[in-house]
Structure 1
Amino acid sequence: MNNEVIIDTNLVFAFLHKNQAKSARFFFSQQDYSFLTPNLFVYETFLHHDMILEKSKGTQEDTHTLFEKVVEKLYFVNESTISVKNFIDAYYLCKDVDDKDTPFVALSLELNVPLWTRDVILKNHLISKGFTNFFDESIL
């Protein structure tokens, strides 16, 4: 059995922090899950590279090594494979909070796959708009 999950960039940032060990252990140990993310993930991590290094608990080399391990577990999905309808729907769901989350929500809508995010503000906003397809962290 292979379950798919859309993974938000903020969650990967959390994996690089020691206090997020439970979710990181789950992510790295799972063989029954496929973790998908839109290509935007690459841009966001590049954009926030300095912040990731600053907040990480290890050296720059350790952080880069851990990040490489994260990337090896991810399946990147080109945003062009997402329908215009799902992109528009996702934009209207996200625009009042953070429209940069649109590709993650659009991918979740397109594939009907749960979104795993730690962005509480986004999550609460999406729930208020009727989007409830989130990864259930209670299984961790």
Structure 2
Amino acid sequence: MNIVIDTNIFFSIMLKKEGFLRNRLLLDLDLNTKFYTCHFLMIEIFKYKEKIVKQSKMTEEEILEVLYILLKKIELYNETYISDENYKKAYDLCKNVDVKDIPFVALTLELDGKLWTGDKKLKKSLIEQGMDIFY
């Protein structure tokens, strides 16, 4: 199974030193499960670096260690390899919710995977449009 992790789940995993989400990702022993995210996530990490450090109550060094561990488990996918067809479909699905979700939805479609998100507004909108693609 291919699972695409969006920004809010990734941040939730990073913000808690211990926790269910991190354990779910790191301890997933199903060898057929692969985790992916978009390169765009790295921009978001740099953009919100100070906020992540502050809210996590970890040192910057600890945050970098967590980031390193997570990125060993998650494959970064270059969005330029996503087909125009899947980008267009993702745009149509997300344009009324949040355009920052487009790459993650497009990647989910591209990989025929499941989207791991905590974004209730996105989930509701996609389900209403007949897209129940969630992990």
Give the TM-score normalised by structure 2. Answer: 0.91
1:138 corresponds in structure 2 to none
**Aligned partner of residue 16 in structure 1, secondary structure:** helix
**Aligned partner of residue 123 in structure 2, secondary structure:** helix
CA contact (8 A) 2:17 2:56 kept: no
Output the CA distance in 2 between the equivalents of 1:38 and 1:17.
Answer: 19
Output the CA distance in 2 between the equivalents of 1:65 and 1:26.
Answer: 18
1:66-102 deviations in whole A, cap 9, x for unaligned?
A: 1111111111111111111110110111111110110
Output the CA distance in 2 between the equivalents of 1:123 and 1:61.
Answer: 34
Amino acid at match of 2:95: K
2:69 corresponds in structure 1 to 69
2:5 corresponds in structure 1 to 7
Amino acid at match of 1:23: L
Output the CA distance in 2 between the equivalents of 1:16 and 1:37.
Answer: 14
1:90-105 aligned within 5 A: 90-105=90-105
1:94-138 deviations in whole A, cap 9, x for unaligned?
A: 111110110100011111100001111111111112211100xxx
Amino acid at match of 1:18: K
CA contact (8 A) 2:14 2:67 kept: yes
2:78 corresponds in structure 1 to 78
Question: Alignment length, in residue pairs?
Answer: 133
**Aligned partner of residue 19 in structure 2, secondary structure:** helix
In the TM superposition, residue 17 of structure 1 has moved relative to its aligned partner by 2.8
Give the TM-score normalised by structure 1. Answer: 0.88
**Residues 127, 20 of structure 1: alpha-carbon distance in 2 compared, 3 angstrom cutoff:** farther
**Aligned partner of residue 118 in structure 1, secondary structure:** coil
In the TM superposition, residue 31 of structure 1 has moved relative to its aligned partner by 3.4
Q: Which runs of 5+ in 2 are unaligned?
A: none
Shift >6 Å, 4+ stretches: none
CA contact (8 A) 2:35 2:74 kept: yes
- Select which of 15, 20, 23 maps to 2:21: 23
Let me know the Cα RMSD of the aligned residues. Answer: 1.5
Q: Which runs of 5+ in 1 are unaligned?
A: 136-140
Output the CA distance in 1 between the equivalents of 2:58 and 2:76.
Answer: 26
